[in-house]
Amino acid sequence: MPPAMSAERDLRLDLFRGLALWLIFLDHIPSNIVSWITIRNYGFSDATEIFVFISGYTAAFVYARALRERGLIVASAKIWRRAWQVYVAHIFLFVIFLAQISYVTASFDNPLYAEEMNVLEFLRQPDIMLIQALLLKFKPVNMDVLPLYIVLLLGFPPLLWMLVNHPLVALAGSAALYSLAWNFHLNLPAYPSGVWVFNPLAWQLLFVFGAWCALDGADRLYRITRSPVTIAVAAAYLAFAFAVVMTWHFPRYGYLVPKWLSEWMYPIDKINLDVLRFAHFLALAVVTIKFVPYGWGGLKSPIFRPAILCGQHSLEVFCLGVFLSFGAHFILSEFSGGAIMQAVLSALGILIMICVAWQLNWYKTVEERAPGSRKKSRDADLAGGEA
- Give the per-residue pLDDT at 108: 81
3-class SS at 36? helix
The answer as to whether 387 is a domain residue is no
The C-alpha angle 80, 84, 90, rounded to 5 degrees, equals 140
Instruction: Flag whether 278 is in a domain.
Output: yes
> What DSSP assignment string belongs to 256-311?
GS-HHHHHHH-S--TTTT-HHHHHHHHHHHHHHHHHS-TT-GGGGSTTTHHHHHHH
Residue 299 is assigned to a structural domain of this protein: yes
Q: What is the DSSP string of 310-325?
A: HHHTHHHHHHHHHHHH
Count of domains forming the chain:
1
How many beta carbons lie within 10 A of that of residue 384, not counting itself?
21
> Residue 3 has what pLDDT?
46
Residue 18 lies in a domain: yes
pLDDT at 359: 96
**Residue 148 belongs to a domain:** yes
Q: Is residue 4 part of a domain?
A: no
Angle at 195 between CA 192 and CA 197, to 5 degrees: 115
Which domain range does residue 337 map to?
11-365+376-382
pLDDT at 115: 83
Q: Please check whether residue 303 lies inside any domain of the structure.
A: yes
pLDDT of res. 384: 52
Residues with Cβ within 8 Å of 112's Cβ and at least 6 positions away in sequence, in order, are none
Per-residue pLDDT of the chain (387 residues; tens, 9 = 90+): 444 455 567 899 999 999 999 999 999 999 899 999 999 999 999 999 999 999 999 999 999 999 999 999 999 999 999 999 999 999 999 999 999 888 888 888 777 888 888 888 888 888 899 999 999 999 998 999 999 999 999 999 999 999 999 999 999 999 999 999 999 999 999 999 999 999 999 999 999 999 999 998 988 999 999 999 999 999 999 999 999 999 999 999 999 999 999 999 999 999 999 999 999 999 999 999 999 998 898 899 999 999 999 999 999 999 999 999 999 999 999 888 899 999 999 999 999 999 999 999 999 888 877 776 665 554 445 455 443
- Is residue 2 in some structural domain? no
